[in-house]
Amino acid sequence: MTTRDRLLGLTVVVLWGLNFIAIRVGLDHFPPFFFAALRFAVMAVPVIAFVRFPKVQMRWFLLYAVGFGFGQFAFLFLAMDLGMPTGLASLVLQTSAPFTVLLGVVFLRERLVPAQVLGIVVAVAGIVLIGADRAGHSAIGLGIVLPMVLTVLAGLSWAFGNIGSRLSHPDDALRMTLWMSVVPPIPFLLMSLATEGPAADLASLTSLGTSSGLLALVGLAYVVLLGTIAGSGLWTMLMKRYEASRVAPLSLLVPVVGISASWLLLDEVPSWVEIGGAALVIAGCAAGVIASPRSRPKAARTQEHELVSSA
């Protein structure tokens, strides 16, 4: 991975780390599924009107859109609405990285060097350490189990989206990211009407003039413009250029930003154990990204082409 692309990856890390603050602000006002529907709907309308659909393998595009766009945020928003702390959510969601590496090995026949394996193990150990410490000090105690499970499922959905992104081979990564937003709004809106009710959705819209409503609009704008268009567009571009096992470990740095921002803005003060875990995450991520990959055998290199050709 070039220095330029590593810097782009770190830019995504910062954007996505701060994205959790914006999500928290939005969920403090909007019902979770309705907030998700709004998040994608405000993108989908101009995309349909003004953006040409990319040249892309359709079934892999749908895997990307459903995994990355719908599944990830359905589980994540529900988890945070049920009490998942903001900093911990940014941490547990990064289970997407080892999930992506595992799926890349299974479905794309990608190969790992020992330094990558060690780096991922160290980073995951840091995540487990931070998660265990945060759960132990959480005010909701064992009640955090369901939100954590939902967030892990969000990470798994993200991983499947990464594989879809890798296999889709779009001619333009940004246009594919923009068109991804067209898939989730209707399912999210139907889920909101069925589980949250039209009255709750309407109340959140009619109270946009309040302080929480204005903050929620700022959060929504950040999630759409920076978290999705900028962050996801750059991420999809990197997934197109490099093996999934090379890009995915970068996401392990997101909780470092997320926990730090939650500390500064939401008074979620990290313990020394969490700081030590964050150091492990940084070290493991660095080892996983900088390590030089092994050359893949010819049969393995053609596996991805065969999967795409059969679409």
pLDDT of residue 292: 54
Average pLDDT over residues 256-263: 86
Residue 23 has what pLDDT?
Answer: 92
- pLDDT for position 300: 44
Q: Is the pLDDT of residue 103 over 80?
A: yes
Per-residue pLDDT of 180-222, as tens digits, reads: 999 999 999 999 999 999 999 999 999 999 999 999 999 999 9
**Domain boundaries, given as residue ranges, for the chain:** 3-309
Instruction: Give the closest residue to 135 by CA, choosing from 151, 148, 149, 150.
Output: 148
Report pTM: 0.79
Model pLDDT, residue 291: 62
| pLDDT tens digits for range 227-239 | 888 888 888 788 7
Contact 15, 227 (CB under 8 A): yes
Instruction: Give the pLDDT band (50/70/90) at residue 137.
Output: low
User: What is the predicted pLDDT for the residue at 141?
Assistant: 52
Per-residue model confidence (pLDDT) at position 112: 73
- Helix H, strand E, coil C: the string for the chain is CCHHHHHHHHHHHHHHHHHHHHHHHHHCCCCHHHHHHHHHHHHHHHHHHHCCCCCCCHHHHHHHHHHHHHHHHHHHHHHHHCCCCHHHHHHHHHHHHHHHHHHHHHHHCCCCCHHHHHHHHHHHHHHHHHHHHHHHHCCCHHHHHHHHHHHHHHHHHHHHHHHHHHHHCCCCHHHHHHHHCCCCHHHHHHHHHHHCCHHHHHHHHHCCCCHHHHHHHHHHHHHHHHHHHHHHHHHHHHHHHCCHHHHHHHHHHHHHHHHHHHHHHHCCCCCHHHHHHHHHHHHHHHHHHHCCCCCCCHHHHHHHHHHHHCC
d(CA 311, CA 295): 26
Residue 299 has pLDDT above 50, yes or no: no
Query: Among 41-45, 116-120, 211-215, whose mean pLDDT is lowest?
Result: 116-120
Q: Check: CB of residue 80 under 8 Å from CB of residue 147.
A: yes
Give whichever of 106-115, 124-133, 208-217 has the largest mean pLDDT.
208-217
Contact 201, 15 (CB under 8 A): no
**Residue range 149-164: mean pLDDT, rounded:** 91
Q: What is the mean pLDDT of residues 5-34?
A: 92
State both tokens at 5. 């692309």
pLDDT higher at 309 or 263: 263
